[in-house]
Amino acid sequence: MKNTNKKIIDHFRICRIIWHFLGAFKLNARQYWNFFTVFHIFAGVLLPLSLLRAIASFDTPMENITNFCMAVTSVSTTLKFLCYMSKMDTLEQLEKILKQLDTRVNGSQQGLCFWQMVKQNRILCNLYLVIYISLTLFTEISFWLRSGRSLIFPGWFPLDWSESLINYVLALSFQCVSIFIQIMENMVDDLFPPLALNLIAGQCELLALRISGIGHNKNDNQRTNEKELINCICDQEKLHRLFQLTMDIISWPMLIQFIVIAIDFGTSMFTLIFYAKTPQDRFFFTFFLVGLNCEIFPVCYIGANVDFQFDRLHYAIFCSNWINQSRQYRQNALILAERIKKRPLLLAGHMVPIHLTTFMANCKAAYSIFTLIGDAGNK
């Protein structure tokens, strides 16, 4: 079994690499004139503006709905990125607490649980990489299969690209670069919440193992068990702080995500059923809908698991061999039990639970938007 005390895992390595590439740390430090930062501002801000400028200006319902859907997605991506960018200092504090909790892993059972948590996060990273790489490829394939001159997404461009080849190359290059930047933004924005929440659930499970194992080792005396319980109380405080920092980072971006996913899902489903005529359009919107579900289902599922793991902490206290311990130990155990009773709440925007029930509510909201568009089209 690997010794986790000798190796600290960088749990947010992929997120950190992408945020560095996008200039999030430099923007947070107000270093606005870095080349990549200026390039990112140019590409990441102008795309949503160009899409918003062209809303409801096309001849066909297919183009108008596609433009609306992409504009909403693009604006939300920029807003989420700005939210995360402003919390880069909080991310440093979060990682510091995680490293402290990682060093507390001891024994084969805790080690197995720890590496299982690491494996789950790697699977999550690979899942989101596959989703976004596939979405990028399918977007390009659906574009190249079109007949005639067109842009990747219907949007406004200040130059007449339909009559000039140079202007068309400029418009197409602008959209390609901007879409790539926004795909990177969206991937890291969607990947960070499930990664962070899965780490909280894993650390909560590790703490439950440490607490429940106190007093069952015959080689430990009562004084040693008292010290271990005090250490577990300190771990519980760090875990609670970890939870608070995570919610401080993801709360508002998750609320934006829930709202936008409902809008995109409803409009995309309506477009797929009633307006998508070509195979490439149907294929693109089908995969787009799958991608939308994958953006919120993992984080809602892991959010439900976080609630479950926090419930287990209270039970773990009474799984320890508290009967044969000192009076001081039992007093501290009761204090810890009372502290754990107050379970922290996972709320997006301090309003919406990050839970499987919210995923179902999101699907119902998407259906409501679907019927709203249908009713508006019949009038």
Written as tens digits, the pLDDT of the chain (379 aa) is 344 444 567 889 999 998 888 878 777 766 655 655 666 666 667 788 887 777 766 777 777 887 888 888 888 888 898 899 889 889 989 999 999 999 998 888 899 999 999 999 999 999 888 888 887 887 777 777 777 777 777 778 777 888 888 888 888 888 888 888 888 888 999 999 999 999 999 999 999 999 988 888 777 788 888 898 999 999 999 999 999 999 999 999 999 999 999 999 999 888 888 888 877 778 778 888 888 888 899 999 999 999 999 988 888 888 888 888 888 888 888 888 888 888 788 999 988 999 999 999 999 999 998 888 877 766 5
Rg over CA atoms, the chain: 25
DSSP assigned state of 311 = H
Q: Which residue has 């299982």 as its token pair? A: 116
Which pTM value belongs to this model?
Answer: 0.89
Task: Give the relative orientation of helices 13-22 and 61-85 as an angle to the nearest 10 degrees.
Answer: 100
In this prediction, residue 30 carries a pLDDT of 66
Phi–psi pair at 353, nearest 5 degrees: -65, 140
Phi–psi pair at 325, nearest 5 degrees: -100, 175
162-195 burial: b if 16+ Cβ within 10 Å, else e: eeeeeebeebbebbeebbebbbbbbbbbbbbbbb
Closest CA to 79 of 254, 296, 298: 254
Compute the distance between CA of residue 370 and CA of residue 364 in angstroms, rounded to an integer: 10
In this prediction, residue 66 carries a pLDDT of 78
In this prediction, residue 42 carries a pLDDT of 66
- β-partners of residue 48 are none
Burial (Cβ within 10 Å: 0-12, 13-18, ≥19) of residue 376: exposed
DSSP 138-165: HHHHHHHTSSSS--SS----SS-TTT-H
Domain locations in the chain?
87-146+180-378
The amino acid occupying position 298 is P
Compute the distance between CA of residue 105 and CA of residue 205 in angstroms, rounded to an integer: 11
Tell me the longest C-alpha to C-alpha distance in the chain. Answer: 86
Burial (Cβ within 10 Å: 0-12, 13-18, ≥19) of residue 112: middle
Phi–psi pair at 209, nearest 5 degrees: -65, -40
